[in-house]
Structure 1
């Protein structure tokens, strides 16, 4: 079992535990913040299960139907996760407004505070684990999950603060106020997930820093006179690079091919954790203008 798949199973298990605990205490205590957190944990569970499905399928090798693999499933998962988080934020906002309008008190504060402390500890440990897996694997789904649970960690901390304030001051309105703030933060944090997923689906180029390093590799390679049509994109942990390298007409194909292999090997060293798929076209002269005109004819 891969590390990223193990991470989705762990996050699902934590979500199940938190849903049960928070839902029971939220109903008993009447705390909108605890109930909102229980609902959010329920969505966490759904998302984690979907992430397990996404990771499992994204890891399948390329085949005759999916020639470039299924890495973009991770981007789809990130977009779906972002939308679900946004909807949960809107629901929490609605619940908080209802709390203000009806001014319902919060009861059983002792057990509510205890549950939120347990939730903070469990979520904090999960965030650290997911961050570690995300750094090791560079998996987009795990990055999204880590950000999601980090949002939970912060919101759970805010809920704990509200319960403590109510316990010592009887200022029940703080529960609804923090519920509104949590909702706003959740919706805001979801935007990054959706944006990153959509950009990958639209074949956004690799990070500027990586692209610059690719250019440095090509420009510093002896025997390469020039290059053009450098294009990059990513899907999951797969990094795609297409480029035309320009040589002299007198150079043998064998030598040009050797240089191309050298460039490819050096590009892969930029990020050894990524799975690079590099396509290098060998040009005996700079034919970028000719290729550009041909592409315009094809597009027209």
Structure 2
């Protein structure tokens, strides 16, 4: 994968986030809506997390060194953790703003213009979110996928805000505005929690998806001729890298050279089938074989 392309889209992500927050903040200034303020504040968080994602992607692309022999891939998970934390901070600030508005009251002005600007920003966000998720999955970038998913939630939130502000404006019940802002805060707080939990799981060496693990078993079965079985297949995801290890049982009479040829063939086949994978194989004699019920792959 072209690391330069990933860095470029991460840099463009910052520019798009800045454009969106500028449009949404203008919508708040024109309308005085606390709900639109909450939407703008969440977009400020987008700028911060986009910058964190860019830094994490640059760091994760660094090659392995003596202090980090397995590379720097997990830096992207740290960016996603940071995003979850920043979302929580934004939620608290929005709740404080909503509380003040409920106590002091709020008066909506030029709401139609504010709503129109917010819709424009949301359309831009939706298109960019789709691109981030597509490219993030294609290039196996957790930071880009997390940013895209956050933007999808942002778009949904913005739609709710627009409907709520329109109702407050048409009905004259301006108290709806800070109540909508509080609902937005609770929604993004839940979203931040989910992002943080998912990132923490991956930092703790979460296994690959069942689909990928099944694909690994299929490749081993198709390319393990000469060996007897493979067992104790384990995976762990680290950013865009997937580390795979398993035990390969061969006949006790097989030479080291012959076993090595099989291992090379398996490693090449797996790394070709699963982009970004790194394979480690432990060779064992036949008396180490395990029953198929234990998950072993007969060859």
> SS where residue 277 of structure 2 aligns?
strand
2:8 aligned with 1:6:
yes
Query: What are the within-5 Å matches in structure 2 for residues 55-204 of structure 1?
Result: 55-204=57-206
Residue segments in structure 2 that go unaligned for 5+ positions in a row: 291-299
Residues 259, 121 of structure 1: CA spacing in aligned structure 2 closer, same or farther, 3 A cutoff?
same
Equivalent residue for 1:252, pick from 252, 255, 277: 255
Mapped partners of 1:215, 1:153: distance in 2: 39
Residues 254, 44 of structure 1: CA spacing in aligned structure 2 closer, same or farther, 3 A cutoff?
same
1:109–1:167 Cα contact (<8 Å) kept: yes
Match in the other structure for 1:264: 267
Question: What is the deviation of 1:286?
Answer: 4.0
Question: What is the deviation of 1:66?
Answer: 1.6
Mapped partners of 2:129, 2:153: distance in 1: 10
Mapped partners of 2:221, 2:91: distance in 1: 48
> SS where residue 233 of structure 2 aligns?
strand
1:112–1:163 Cα contact (<8 Å) kept: no
2:237 aligned with 1:237:
no
Match in the other structure for 2:53: 51
Question: What is the deviation of 1:287?
Answer: 4.2
Match in the other structure for 1:278: 279
Q: Cα RMSD over matched residues?
A: 2.1
Mapped partners of 1:251, 1:288: distance in 2: 15
Question: What is the deviation of 1:219?
Answer: 4.4
1:242–1:280 Cα contact (<8 Å) kept: yes
Instruction: Provide, for residues 132-154 of structure 1, a one-character-per-residue CA deviation record: whole Å limited to 9, x for no partner.
Output: 21132120000011011111111
Question: What is the deviation of 1:284?
Answer: 2.3
- TM value normalised by structure 2: 0.88
> SS where residue 64 of structure 1 aligns?
coil
Q: Identify which range, 39-48 or 251-260, moves more after superposition.
A: 251-260
Q: Identify which range, 132-141 or 213-222, moves more after superposition.
A: 213-222
